[in-house]
């Protein structure tokens, strides 16, 4: 019969549909178990990729040369003063993170973070406010970045000897201080104990000479009328006296500085922005071909403040070719024993110290610069 004829050999090989059932190999129990195990493993792996985890993972982020360009536009642009080229690089450092609103961490991400020596995994509530939305966090980081750019400009111009006048506007009072109920939002501070306050730095310097608990007289302008207000000072957490008001200074900058950078938020690039402005406005080629990375907040007096993620930033700096790293003195405890090979750390507490370090590194005389040490 036709059905008993051997099947023809086609282009796909032998047609096995005509092999008698008794001659086909049967699956053993072990093979079935292995196949089932592979299916379960594949399914679990797929779940791990998309299953959110209640952890925040921070890793080394990108670095940016503040003396360089992005899409053909200089990161720092100056109008109203001559600028000078630099052969070196000043790199701000960042961290990349997941776990916040809108950017969940997945189980696979957390596992990679635990296995990586360059990442840190922490419970998400230790890193992000639980009642904040993604939009609120992004907006806050943007505002902090904008403020740090203005503050960096003021600090840099002051370091270079410019006068930077400011109008000191009261934005509110600190609850529980003597200023509450005495000073009002919109008051303009003009003098402290009879000494004029032409800029924000003057207010800071004057308060350094005041003993906490002493009574001071604040001269203010309220609704275009002069007024003297006596306030008993309090003590700042960092030490020194405070008058119990939030001040929103309006600066009259003698040089117009624009900083253009997208995708990066927060205040920690302030020190490197300020250092970049100093470098651009001075004829000396301070960095002289060296790649110097760093981080740190900065205030208008030039004080460098500590930041988060210092260990990840060290790794990112070394990865992107930096040989030197300017670290805030307040972060030194986290730096010790975590410096990547090939990277040298310099401890800085002020913009002036950072400027001197940059100059020494470029000149090849940086061997004696202070670093972070244990104890």
pLDDT digits (tens, 9 = 90+) for 49-86: 556 778 888 899 999 999 999 888 999 999 999 999 99
For residues 239-262, give the mean pLDDT. Answer: 91
Distances in whole angstroms, Cα of residue 167 to Cα of each of 174, 203, 248 = 20, 11, 8
Instruction: Name which of 321, 365, 360 is nearest 343 in CA terms.
Output: 321
Q: Is 31 left (phi over 0), alpha (psi -120 to 50) or beta?
A: alpha
Gap between the Cα atoms of 203 and 193, Å rounded: 11
What's the whole-model pTM score?
0.81
- Non-local (6+) Cβ contacts of 236 within 8 A are 212, 242
Please, are residues 15 and 7 in contact by the beta-carbon 8 Å criterion?
yes
pLDDT digits (tens, 9 = 90+) for 192-201: 999 999 999 9
Among 16-20, 50-54, 127-131, 286-290, the range scoring the smallest mean pLDDT is 16-20
- Non-local (6+) Cβ contacts of 375 within 8 A are none
């Amino acid at each position: 019969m036709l059905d008993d004829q051997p099947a023809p050999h086609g282009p796909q090989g032998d047609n096995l549909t005509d092999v008698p059932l008794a001659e086909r190999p049967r699956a053993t129990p072990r093979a079935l178990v292995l196949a089932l195990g592979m299916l379960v493993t594949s399914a679990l792996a797929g779940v791990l990729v998309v299953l959110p985890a209640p952890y925040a993972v921070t890793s080394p982020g990108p670095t940016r040369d503040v003396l360089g360009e992005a899409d053909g536009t200089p990161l720092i642009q100056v109008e109203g003063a001559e600028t000078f080229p630099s052969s070196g690089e000043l790199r701000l450092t960042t961290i990349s993170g997941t776990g916040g609103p809108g950017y969940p961490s997945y189980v696979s991400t957390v596992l990679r973070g635990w296995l990586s020596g360059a990442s840190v995994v922490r419970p998400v509530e230790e890193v992000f406010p639980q009642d904040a939305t993604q939009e609120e966090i992004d907006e806050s980081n943007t505002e902090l970045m904008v403020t740090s750019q203005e503050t960096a400009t003021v600090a840099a111009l002051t370091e270079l000897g410019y006068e930077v006048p400011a109008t000191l506007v009261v934005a509110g009072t600190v609850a529980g201080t003597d200023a509450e109920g005495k000073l009002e939002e919109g008051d303009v501070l003009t003098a402290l104990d009879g000494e004029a306050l032409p800029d924000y730095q003057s207010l800071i310097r004057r308060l350094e000479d005041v003993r906490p608990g002493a009574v001071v007289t604040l001269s203010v302008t309220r609704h275009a009328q002069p007024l003297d207000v006596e306030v008993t000072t309090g003590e700042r957490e960092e030490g020194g006296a405070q008058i119990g008001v939030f001040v929103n200074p309006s600066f009259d900058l003698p040089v117009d500085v624009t900083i253009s950078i997208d995708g990066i938020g927060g205040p920690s690039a302030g020190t490197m922005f300020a250092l970049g402005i100093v470098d651009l406005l001075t004829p000396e080629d301070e960095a002289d071909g060296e790649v110097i990375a760093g981080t740190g907040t900065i205030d208008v007096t030039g004080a460098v403040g500590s930041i988060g993620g210092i260990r990840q930033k060290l790794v990112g700096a070394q990865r992107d070719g930096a040989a030197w790293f300017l670290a805030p003195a307040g972060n030194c405890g986290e730096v010790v024993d975590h410096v990547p090979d090939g990277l040298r750390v310099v401890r800085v507490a002020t913009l002036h110290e950072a400027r001197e370090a940059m100059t020494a590194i470029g000149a090849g005389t940086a061997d004696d610069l202070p670093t972070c040490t244990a104890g």
